[in-house]
Amino acid sequence: MYSIDDKWVVMIASDRISAFDVILPERIPYKGQVLNQLAAFMLNACSDICPNWLMDVPAPNASIGWKCQPIRIEMVVRGHLSGHAWRTYQSGIRTLCGAKMPDGMRENDPFPLPIITPSTKAESGHDEDISPEEILRQGLVTENQWQTLVNYSLALFERGKRMANKQGLILVDTKYEFGLLNDTIYLMDEIHTPDSSRYFYLEDFEYRQQRGEKQQQLSKEFVREWLISNDFMGQPGQQVPAMSEEWVNTISDRYIRLFELVTGQKFEKSDIGNEELERRITQSLLRIREAHPF
């Protein structure tokens, strides 16, 4: 991420992948392009809900937008009992970040209504679960700002759900990040991508739930599950397992497949070099600076 005149940011989506707050050693081909183009697709599709940071996408793996002051909260919205929520539920706990989870649920069951389970946006180290009461007590946002974050997050999740359903998918859970620009709350970063979201296939969801079968999903969770099966959860002293070329290509293929399923568009692989990337970014910045002079 590059800061330009302390007014705009240029974000280059790399092909690196992280899990449990650790960057894994191997690059995943085209992952950066998938995330960047999918995020732009979703930000544009949700721009009527709230203002967002994006201004231009000059290259497949690059975006330019407004520089905002980050709000140090991740707004995690969950429509189903999956992932971290399920692991918490399995331990016997029925409240997550102040949100109550009903008794008698099975893994991946839908909640009666989506719940918000925020976490702190750590500058380093692990993000941590936090309740709305603690958010307000710490003064991370004002009460009015918190309500705006809640309203935006639920509206964005509902839009994402509808878009996913049209493509035969279920948006299971996701996270949103926001920032301030001239005291206005802006949506930041990527949304509804496999790095920030979990998707199930709609067609056989009920069939699998009724039989207690594992749901097929499109998200980064399969990478976390692979790491867990290889005794790695980002804890001190744990060694990141080696990633074979076959496994790296499998991850890449699954990212591309998700892009095509979610957007309904064909993914076109791009391999532009750094020189062309820099040229496109420079031209875009010149146009933006002309349109938005100091």
Domain residues of the chain, as ranges?
2-291
Residue 127: band (very low, low, confident or very high) from pLDDT cuts 50, 70, 90: confident
Cβ of 209: how many Cβ atoms within 10 Å? 17
Q: Give kind and range of the element (H or E) at residue 116.
A: strand 110-116
- Is the pLDDT assigned to residue 255 strictly greater than 70? yes
Which is the CATH superfamily of the domain at 2-291? ATP-grasp fold, B domain (3.30.470.20)
Average pLDDT of span 27-38:
94
Instruction: List Cα–Cα distances, 113 to 79, 116, 169, 171, 228, in angstroms.
Output: 7, 10, 18, 13, 30
pLDDT tens per residue, range 42-75: 999 999 999 999 999 999 999 999 999 999 999 9
C-alpha gyration radius of the chain: 19
- Is the pLDDT assigned to residue 125 strictly greater than 60? no
Q: Return the pLDDT at 149.
A: 98
One DSSP character per residue, 157-226 reads HHHHHHHHHHTTEEEEEEEEEEEEETTEEEEES--SSTTTEEEEESTTHHHHHHTTPPPPEEESHHHHHH
Q: Return the pLDDT at 224.
A: 87
Can you tell me the distance from the alpha carbon of 150 to that of 146, in angstroms, rounded to the nearest whole number? 6
pLDDT tens per residue, range 181-205: 999 999 999 999 878 899 999 999 9
- Is the pLDDT assigned to residue 269 strictly greater than 90? yes
- Is the pLDDT assigned to residue 122 strictly greater than 70? no
Average pLDDT of span 234-255:
92
Average pLDDT of span 225-231:
91
- Is the pLDDT assigned to residue 110 strictly greater than 70? yes
Q: Return the pLDDT at 47.
A: 97
